[in-house]
């Protein structure tokens, strides 16, 4: 039987006009932005696939919740709604709101890392790693080798390699591990999930070595969807059941609510460890705000609480991930090199295979982002050598195996016709790829350089 189309489980109530500025203007805009898509003005962008972070369309139920914001300095009812939603959906009884994900990462790193300690992670994320290092910790990569290979078809490329964990414990001692930072739908690997079986094994390992697991649960719902679709025994389970089971393996999590939770701003730290919670509550007042708002307005917390329930709806998450898959399949069938399997939040162009004539010193992914913008006004994000930064001790560039351009799909925002426009632009560029030339970096900030670095044609 032919499979039927599954449409988005919503209709559009309000629209925001977008436009494609002329080719000459795009050429000028990207040059003025130092060939860095972070420095473009959003009004000069046609289809914005820079990120899925904070770019979601909220539902009418979430917008209605904004009107119910209780803007009291202390004890806002929306905080209690948020706490309840987090407890019901993730299973953690204690919640500390923060202005966004990195606020929660900051508090976690400062409280849980002593200088010189290690933080093994299933691949780095830029802000997470920066906070670990600012706290005097050292990031150790313990993801499967397959995650660094854009052509490997492994269904759970986000899995932790237990042999790598054992090696860390053997060589450095388990007591040097501050905690295990386990990410869901690993961003830098291309939105690749971790399996429930691997989570179970990692959690047994952690218990045996008396090491805590703290999740980066920023894209845990997308991960739960992949478990439901790909892992034996989960086809009949709901997203909420799977998410709860995933989180049961951790002591707590940090979350950027700007992704899964369908809001434009916000984040939180959640835990079942009362002592950690007490300390986090003590610290949030120094950096974010009182522990019942953490840098957010009451209305923001209400929107997160409501988004936290909506994100688990089966029809929603299926249509979200399928839209990403739609874009990926269009590119793949035209022979454009992308990371496979197609990830949960975006399609990642493999710039090394797309532009084999450019060495990593010529910033191929950065150059490809700029060329894509020039071609169509589509904005993407570099996830390669620029994002990887420099080694803090040697001062040399970190050369990641993955040199990628991320086409990140905002939630509930674009239609598949927009995806067609994006695909056609990538395909056109691929057909004339020899004409894309490299870049040289002319301005390099010290921290998270990719945000504000500037380039010129090499």
Report the interface residues with ligand P71, using CB under 6 A.
51, 53, 100-102, 125-128, 183, 187, 216, 218, 256, 258, 267
Cα 269 to Cα 216: distance, rounded to the nearest angstrom: 10
Closer residue to ligand P71 in complex, CB, 169/221:
221
Helix (H) or strand (E) holding 111: helix 101-112
DSSP state of 350: E
Gyration radius (Cα) of the chain, Å: 21
Is 125 assigned a catalytic role? yes
Catalytic residue status for 259: yes
Annotated active-site residue in 35, 94, 124, 125 = 125
Nearer to ligand P71, 102 or 249 (CB): 102
Phi-psi region of 57 (alpha: psi -120 to 50; beta: other; left: phi over 0): beta
CB of 160 vs ligand P71, minimal distance in Å: 15
Cα separation of 110 and 284, whole Å? Answer: 11
- Residue 225 or 430: the one with the smaller Cβ distance to ligand P71 is 225
Q: In whole angstroms, how close is the CB of 267 to ligand P71 at the nearest point?
A: 5
Catalytic residue status for 292: no
Residue pair 239/317 in contact by the 8 Å Cβ criterion = yes
Catalytic residue list contains 216: yes
Query: In the bound complex, what is the minimum distance in angstroms from residue 363's beta carbon to ligand P71?
Result: 16
Catalytic residue among 52, 216, 260, 300: 216
Which residue's CB is nearer to ligand P71, number 119 or number 169?
119
Please state the closest distance from residue 376 (CB atom) to ligand P71, in A: 20
Set 383, 406, 412, 449: catalytic member? 383
d(C-alpha 132, C-alpha 134), whole Å: 6
Catalytic-labelled residue, pool 126, 271, 308, 408 = 126
Give the residue closest to ligand P71 by C-beta: 101
> 60, 73, 401, 440: which one is catalytic?
73
Minimum distance from residue 250 beta carbon to ligand P71 (Å): 15
Q: Is 182:194 a contact under the CB 8 Å cutoff?
A: yes
Q: Which is catalytic among the residues 26, 102, 258, 259?
A: 259
Instruction: Tell me which DSSP letter residue 177 carries.
Output: B
Contact between residue 405 and residue 369 where contact means Cβ atoms under 8 Å apart:
yes
Q: Phi, psi at residue 158, to the nearest 5°?
A: -85, 0
- Closer residue to ligand P71 (CB): 101 or 120: 101
* Cα 398 from chain centre: 20
Comparing CB distances to ligand P71, the nearer of 307 and 430 is: 307
- Decide if 383 is catalytic: yes
Minimal distance in Å, beta carbon 127 to ligand P71?
Answer: 4
Residue 183 has which token pair?
Answer: 């990410």
How many angstroms separate the CA atoms of 303 and 327, rounded? 29
Percentages (nearest 5) of helix, strand, coil residues in the chain? 45, 15, 40
Q: Point out the residues that are catalytic.
A: 73, 125-126, 216, 259, 383, 450
């Amino acid at each position: 039987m032919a499979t039927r189309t599954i449409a988005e489980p919503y209709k559009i109530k309000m629209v925001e006009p977008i436009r494609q500025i002329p080719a000459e203007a795009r050429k000028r805009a990207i040059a003025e932005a130092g060939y860095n898509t972070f420095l473009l003005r959003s009004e000069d962008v046609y289809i914005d696939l820079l990120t899925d972070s904070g770019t979601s369309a909220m539902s009418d139920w979430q917008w209605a919740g904004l009107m119910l914001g209780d803007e009291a300095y202390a004890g806002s009812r929306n905080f209690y709604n948020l706490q309840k939603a987090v407890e019901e959906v993730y299973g953690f009884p204690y919640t500390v709101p923060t202005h966004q994900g990195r606020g929660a990462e900051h508090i976690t790193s400062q409280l849980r890392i002593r200088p010189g300690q290690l933080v093994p992670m299933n691949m780095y994320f830029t802000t997470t790693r920066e906070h670990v290092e600012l706290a005097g910790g050292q990031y150790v990569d313990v993801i499967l080798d397959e995650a660094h290979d854009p052509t490997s078809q492994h269904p759970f490329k986000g899995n932790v390699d237990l042999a790598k964990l054992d090696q860390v414990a053997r060589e450095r001692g388990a007591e040097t591990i501050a905690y295990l930072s386990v990410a869901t739908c690993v961003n830098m690997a291309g939105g690749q999930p971790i399996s429930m079986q691997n989570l179970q094994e990692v959690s047994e390992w952690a218990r045996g070595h008396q090491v805590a697991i703290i999740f980066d649960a920023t894209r845990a719902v997308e991960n739960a969807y992949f478990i439901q679709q790909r892992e034996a025994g989960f086809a009949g389970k709901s997203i909420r059941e799977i998410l709860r089971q995933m989180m049961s393996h951790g002591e707590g999590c940090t979350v950027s609510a700007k992704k899964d939770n369908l809001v434009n701003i916000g984040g939180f730290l959640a835990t079942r460890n009362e002592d950690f919670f007490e300390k986090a509550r003590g610290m949030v007042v120094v950096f974010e705000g009182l522990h019942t708002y953490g840098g957010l307005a009451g209305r923001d917390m209400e929107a997160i609480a409501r988004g936290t329930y909506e994100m688990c709806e089966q029809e929603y998450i299926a249509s979200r991930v399928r839209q990403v898959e739609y874009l990926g399949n269009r590119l793949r069938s035209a022979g454009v090199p992308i990371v496979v399997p197609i990830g949960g939040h975006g399609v990642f162009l493999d710039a090394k295979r797309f532009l084999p004539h450019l060495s990593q010193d010529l910033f191929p992914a950065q150059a490809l982002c700029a060329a894509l913008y020039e071609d169509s006004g589509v904005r993407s994000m570099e996830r390669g050598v620029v994002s990887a930064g420099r080694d803090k001790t040697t001062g040399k560039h970190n050369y990641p195996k993955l040199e990628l351009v991320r086409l990140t799909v905002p939630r509930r925002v674009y239609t598949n016709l927009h995806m067609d426009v994006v695909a056609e632009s990538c395909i056109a560029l691929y057909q004339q790829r020899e004409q894309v030339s490299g870049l040289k970096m002319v301005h390099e900030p010290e921290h998270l350089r990719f945000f504000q670095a500037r380039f010129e044609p090499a």
